Amino acid sequence: MRAPTFALAVLGLALGVAGVTLAKPVTFTLPAETSTLQESTAEGYQKALNLCGVCHSRDYITTQPRGKGKDFWTAEVTKMVNVYGAPVAEVDRALIVEYLAATY
């Protein structure tokens, strides 16, 4: 009883795979960046400039409510790394947080 059921399942899978059409690659052009980070001599400025914009517009930083402080920016940077996989090394996170907390 199991052999015919298994054979039908394998046959159905084979027919399904044979009929799969691969999707065409999608290309798109990002709009021009409309904001800039506030310049600073802090190390975190260059880190934020180089790393944060890899995944999202700088608008995500510059439009946040002002004066949220270190805890807010720590949580945001942690979320970007842990939830969204932002490529920010552990040693750079504190520098970015210090810059963002002092500037925004």
CATH number assigned to the domain comprising residue 53: 1.10.760.10
In a domain, 86, yes or no: yes
Q: Which residues of the chain have pLDDT under 70?
A: 1-20
**Predicted local confidence at residue 47, as pLDDT:** 97
Q: Which of 104, 97, 101 is nearest to 47 (CA)?
A: 97
Q: Which domain holds residue 89?
A: 31-103
CA-CA distances (angstroms) from residue 22 to 16, 17, 19, 85? 13, 11, 10, 27
**Predicted local confidence at residue 37, as pLDDT:** 96
Question: What is the C-alpha to C-alpha distance for residues 48 and 5, in angstroms, rounded to an integer?
Answer: 57
Domain total for the chain? 1
**Predicted local confidence at residue 23, as pLDDT:** 87
In contact, 99 and 40? CB cutoff 8 Å: yes
**Predicted local confidence at residue 8, as pLDDT:** 54
In a domain, 25, yes or no: no
pTM for this model (two decimals)? 0.69
Question: What is the C-alpha to C-alpha distance for residues 54 and 3, in angstroms, rounded to an integer?
Answer: 53
Helix (H, G, I), strand (E, B) or coil at 26: coil
**Predicted local confidence at residue 62, as pLDDT:** 95
